[in-house]
Amino acid sequence: MRDRQLLAWLAEHYVLSTDQITEALFPSPRSARLRLATLHTIDAVSRFVDITTGDSQYLYALGPLGMLVHPTAYNDPDRLDARPPRSSIDRTERIVASRRLAHLLGTNQLFTDLLAYARDRDDVELARWWSEQHATAAYAMAGVRPDGHGIWRAEGREVGFFLEHDNGTEPLATVLRKLRGYERLAEGGPCYPVLLRVRSRRREANLLHALAGVPTAMPVVTGVHDEHPAAAAWTLTTDPGRRRRLHELPSDHGPDSPATNPHRFTRPDTSH
């Protein structure tokens, strides 16, 4: 079951680091290394050294066997309309060469942190984890393209959210323009908080300043990369004096959201 879950994640989310896999699925680093070595030996996964930080840990993608299990895996992190890869090696090369590799790992880190937090808690669950491609296809009518989408359950509350993972490479105006699609989506659709997760407190302060007094149809929230996403790490732009936990954020599934009508938006074979 654990192996199948890992392959499903790699099919949808392209790449996970050794540390991310360990915290999300395994009781110890040693057990993770041993199992990942076995999966690599049988070609279920491929691996390469993390070139984004200079660390010696491996990054993992689908191997030949994994591609057989998940023939509809997403093909290219840079081009949604790319032709299917000729092999798992071709797919892995696209991931390694992607200009978005560090961004993918940063996006996936938020979700693996939530998965790790929920593992030993009966009342906590990451009920949905969709990739950029999955969420873009699901909400195409509104034209939103989040870096990730999830549904988080804790303490009797269920909060859907869209993630915009910001590495500080875009002007603030570009980041803010992304909110327009969410405005359209909130009109009669789900009204989920948009998490603007940035690298520094200074960047967060600039965002809060830019959005001060600006009405939005959906909640807009800021947070910083190095704070745990399940903790009191989120600031509503409409109430910057208080930091909230993820499950405390306002959220409305709306009448036609996947949470209440999963067949309306979900793309077949990718709802992991």
Give residue limits of the domains in the chain. 2-99, 103-248
Could you tell me which residues are beta bridge partners of residue 162? 149, 194
CATH number attached to the domain at 2-99: 1.10.10.10
The H or E element containing residue 138 is helix 132-138
Under the banding of pLDDT at 50, 70 and 90, the label for residue 50 is confident
The H or E element containing residue 133 is helix 132-138
Average pLDDT of span 126-130: 97
pTM, 2 dp: 0.90
Average pLDDT of span 184-201: 92
Percent of the chain with pLDDT over 70: 93
Q: What is the pLDDT of residues 139-165, one digit of tens each?
A: 888 889 999 999 999 999 999 999 999
Edge to edge, the sheet with strand 58-62 lists 16-17, 58-62, 45-49
Average pLDDT of span 18-24: 97
pLDDT of residue 124: 96
pLDDT of residue 262: 37
pLDDT of residue 175: 84
Under the banding of pLDDT at 50, 70 and 90, the label for residue 54 is low
Question: Residue 264 above 60 pLDDT?
Answer: no
Torsion of CA 246, 272, 135, 179, to 10 degrees: 10
pLDDT of residue 134: 94
Cα dihedral sign for 259, 181, 220, 270?
positive
Question: Residue 171 above 50 pLDDT?
Answer: yes
Top pLDDT among 263 and 62 is at 62
pLDDT of residue 256: 58
Under the banding of pLDDT at 50, 70 and 90, the label for residue 172 is confident
